[in-house]
């Protein structure tokens, strides 16, 4: 289970939208290419008019190839051109841009969504749906403090704002405020038991180490989302549930979950989250060729630093150092652009560029907190030869009980290196053994390193 991309950002928030909203879910940036159209002023006579004209140009950009979501974007774009003074027109278009961003994996499309929100604000400064759209943009930008501030303002004035409560839960989680995240998720449950509420509950149960509670919450989330107009939230929920089985070393359960995604959503197409997990599972089962096929497809659909890292590992497992190096170049490129945490973890796992790994972890932690932020920083400190500084961080990660073998492995390494007593050093070995017992093949390089450490001299 991952928090690095704000686990529920656009997906669960947009899933909160009413079912009669045809733009109720999505994912991207591309270079905007459309013109502002007839709704743009003939000349920008003031700075404000110029600013709004730029927003119109971005909001009404050509989405590109014609697939299902692009057709929807064009439909809402025409509606906004026809009714430019109606804020709802820009909100529907903005929600469609978010869907484009989610499905393409190109987060730049959130800039188009942000432009739509600005246009709606210009027409109606207190428009609630525009504020909801702004929450999505802020979270995608990893502006979690700003998202938390806006969500608190919205929920203070209207505790029944379901979507704002979800955004608040997500922001609190990303900032490492677990009790506050749980409280907001509970308020969602009190308002409306539904896929977004159950999905948040499942993730929070996982973080707390309650595996059975997480499984049950994922089941309830899927049941609540079954039959919705947009199938992606339910598909995403199934993939997260299958990932939970992978975390606890139940590879057969993971495979069954992925098969259920394929049979339940035959029209979903190449779904990047499922393809990534398929590749991860194949790697764990020693099936490098299958892993390469799935991860290559995932990279085509939604390029990410994490998928590129898995693809590099798959090529290494297949004995192809040249293609592994090419994939590693992509990890560095994408990580430096958009994913400091994965960049830091990748470099630390490769035991290279320690200064860059540490800077990336520190940069990530400026905006985010919690168990995964602590883990990335602790591991970077360990590789940089500063295990003593990492010790309090890994103590905090172990205390959560989060059933993630990588967290346990990193904590074990730190305790072995920085433990002040023989008991602490033995505790480090025990944590490494726990990681291997829980998920025996969570990462080939880490498993090999663990084997060398546990069999070598103390």
Residues 12 and 120 in one domain: yes
Q: Is the pLDDT of residue 18 over 50?
A: no
Record the pTM.
Answer: 0.83
Flag whether 258 is in a domain.
no
Integer Cα distance of 171 and 201 in angstroms: 14
pLDDT number for residue 446: 97
Is residue 449 in some structural domain?
A: yes
More confident residue, 63 or 210: 210
- Residue 102 in domain: yes
Q: Which of 101-105, 174-178, 221-225, 330-334 has the lowest mean pLDDT?
A: 101-105
Per-residue confidence (pLDDT) for residue 66, from 0 to 100: 54
Mean pLDDT across 397-411 = 96
408, 431 contact by CB (below 8 A): yes
Are 405 and 436 contained in the same domain? yes
- Judge if 377 and 314 occupy the same domain: no
CA proximity to 98, closest of 247, 223, 230: 230
**What percentage of the chain has pLDDT greater than the value 90?**
62
Q: Does residue 167 belong to any structural domain of this protein?
A: no
313: CATH: 1.25.40.10
Per-residue model confidence (pLDDT) at position 458: 57
Looking at the structure, do residues 276 and 383 belong to the same domain, yes or no? Answer: no
Average pLDDT, the chain: 86
Domain count, the chain: 3
CA 156 to mean position of chain CA atoms:
27
Report whether 307 contacts 271 (CB < 8 A): no
Tell me: do 1 and 136 sit in the same domain. Answer: yes
Nearest Cα residue to 411 out of 440, 381, 370: 381
**Whether residue 208 has pLDDT greater than 80:** yes
Q: How far apart are CA 410 and CA 451, in angstroms?
A: 14
pLDDT in tens, 233-267: 899 999 999 999 999 999 999 999 999 999 998 88
Residue 52 has pLDDT above 80, yes or no: no
39 vs 159, which has greater pLDDT?
Answer: 159
Last residue of a domain, one of 113, 140, 167: 140
Burial class (CB in 10 A: 0-12, 13-18, 19+), 356: middle
| Domain CATH number, residue 405 | 1.25.40
Say which residue, 60 or 197, is predicted with more confidence: 197
Same domain, 135 and 5: yes
- pLDDT at residue 107, as a whole number: 74
Please, which pLDDT band fits residue 5 given cuts at 50, 70 and 90?
very low
pLDDT recorded at residue 65 = 61
What pLDDT, in 10s, does the model give residues 352-373? 999 999 999 999 999 899 999 9
Instruction: Give pairs for 274-279: CB < 8 Å, separation 24+.
Output: 274/235, 274/239, 275/301, 276/304, 276/306, 276/307, 276/310, 277/239, 277/242, 277/243, 277/246, 279/307, 279/310, 279/311, 279/314
Considering the domain architecture, whether residues 309 and 387 belong to the same structural domain is answered as no
Average pLDDT of span 444-449: 96
For the segment 426-451, the average pLDDT, to the nearest whole number, is 96
- Per-residue pLDDT, 428: 95
* 18 SS3 class: coil
Q: Based on the fold, state whether residues 333 and 361 are members of the same structural domain.
A: no
- Report residue 176 CA to chain centroid gap: 15
- Asked if 295 and 422 sit in the same domain, the reply is no
pLDDT of amino acid 175: 94
pLDDT score recorded for residue 338: 87
Burial (CB count within 10 angstroms: exposed 0-12, middle 13-18, buried 19+), residue 122: middle
Residue 395 CB-half CA count within 13 A: 9
Dihedrals φ, ψ of 403, to 5°?
A: -85, 65
Rounded-to-integer distance, Cα 9 and Cα 250, Å: 27
Residue 32's pLDDT is 34
Residue 183 belongs to a domain: no
> What does the alpha-carbon distance between residue 321 and residue 347 come to, in Å, rounded to a whole number?
17
CA distances from 233 to 130, 263, 306 (A): 22, 16, 21
pLDDT per residue as tens digits for the range 295-332: 999 999 889 999 999 999 999 999 999 999 999 999 99
Residues 364 and 331 in one domain: no
Count of Cβ atoms closer than 10 Å to residue 64 Cβ: 15
Q: Is residue 195 part of a domain?
A: no
Looking at 140, 163, 193, which one is the last position of a domain? 140
Which whole number is the average pLDDT over 16-41?
A: 34
pLDDT of residue 105: 65
Helix H segments across 192-271? 195-207, 211-225, 232-247, 251-264
Proportion of the chain above pLDDT 70, given as a percent: 87
Q: Determine, yes or no, domain membership for 208.
A: no
Residues 135 and 12 in one domain: yes
What pLDDT does residue 389 have?
97
Confidence at residue 53, expressed as pLDDT on a 0 to 100 scale? 78
CB 383 within 8 A of CB 362: no
Residue ending a domain, among 81, 110, 140, is 140
For residue 308, what are the domain limits? Answer: 270-338
For residue 245, is it within any domain? no
Asked whether the predicted pLDDT for residue 8 surpasses 60, the reply is no
Measured at the alpha carbon of residue 360, what is the angle toward residues 326 and 439, in degrees to the nearest 5?
A: 70
Decide if 141 contacts 335 (C-beta within 8 A): no
Which residues, 6+ apart, have CB-to-CB distance to 288 below 8 Å?
282, 314, 315, 317, 318
119 & 6 share domain? yes
pLDDT in tens, 92-134: 888 888 878 776 667 788 888 888 888 888 888 888 888 898 8
d(Cα 86, Cα 361) in Å, to the nearest integer? 44
Please state the rounded mean pLDDT for residues 181-209: 96
Q: Which two tokens stand for residue 389?
A: 């500084």
Handedness of CA 98, 103, 105, 109 (dihedral sign): negative
User: CA–CA separation, 150 vs 168, rounded Å?
Assistant: 9
Max Cα distance, the chain (Å): 77
Position 231 scores a pLDDT of 85
Helices and strands (DSSP H and E) totals, the chain: 24, 0
Query: What is the rounded CA–CA span in Å between residue 341 and residue 358?
Result: 10
């Amino acid at each position: 289970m991952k928090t690095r991309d704000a686990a529920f950002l656009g997906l669960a928030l947009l899933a909160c939208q009413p079912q009669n909203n045809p733009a109720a879910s999505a994912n991207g940036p591309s270079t905007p290419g459309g013109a502002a159209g007839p709704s743009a002023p003939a000349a920008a006579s003031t700075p404000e008019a110029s600013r709004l004209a730029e927003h119109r140009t971005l909001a009404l950009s050509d989405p590109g190839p014609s697939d299902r979501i692009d057709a929807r974007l064009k439909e809402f774009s025409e509606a906004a051109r026809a009714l430019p003074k109606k804020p709802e027109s820009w909100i529907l278009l903005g929600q469609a841009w978010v869907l484009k961003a989610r499905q393409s994996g190109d987060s730049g499309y959130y800039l188009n969504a942000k432009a739509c929100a600005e246009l709606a604000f210009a027409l109606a400064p207190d428009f609630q749906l525009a504020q909801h759209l702004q929450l999505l943009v802020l979270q995608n930008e990893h502006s979690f403090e700003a998202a938390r501030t806006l969500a608190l303002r919205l929920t203070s004035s209207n505790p029944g704002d379901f979507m704002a409560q979800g955004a608040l839960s997500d922001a609190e989680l990303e900032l490492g405020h677990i009790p506050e995240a749980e409280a907001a998720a509970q308020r969602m449950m009190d308002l409306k038991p539904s896929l977004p509420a159950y999905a948040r509950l499942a993730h929070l149960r996982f973080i707390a180490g309650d595996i059975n509670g997480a499984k049950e919450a994922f089941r309830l989330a899927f049941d609540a989302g079954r039959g919705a107009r947009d199938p992606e939230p339910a598909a995403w929920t199934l993939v997260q549930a299958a990932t939970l089985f992978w975390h606890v070393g139940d590879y057969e359960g993971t495979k069954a979950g992925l098969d259920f995604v394929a049979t339940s959503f035959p029209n979903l197409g190449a779904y990047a989250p499922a393809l990534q997990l398929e590749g991860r599972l194949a790697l764990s089962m020693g099936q490098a060729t299958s892993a390469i096929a799935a991860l290559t497809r995932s990279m085509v659909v939604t390029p990410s630093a994490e998928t590129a890292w898995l693809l590099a590992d798959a090529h290494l497992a297949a004995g192809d150092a040249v293609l592994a190096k090419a994939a590693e170049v992509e990890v560095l490129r994408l990580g430096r652009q958009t994913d400091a945490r994965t960049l830091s973890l990748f470099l630390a796992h490769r035991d290279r560029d320690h200064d860059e790994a540490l800077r990336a972890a520190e940069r990530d932690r400026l905006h985010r907190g919690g168990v995964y932020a602590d883990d990335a920083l602790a591991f970077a400190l360990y590789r940089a030869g500063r295990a003593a500084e990492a010790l309090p961080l890994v103590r905090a990660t172990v205390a959560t009980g989060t059933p993630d073998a990588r967290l346990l492995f990193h904590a074990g390494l730190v305790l072995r290196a920085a433990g002040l007593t023989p008991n602490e050093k033995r505790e480090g070995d025990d944590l490494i053994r726990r990681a291997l017992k829980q998920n025996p093949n969570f990462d080939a390089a880490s498993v090999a390193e663990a084997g060398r450490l546990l069999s070598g001299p103390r």
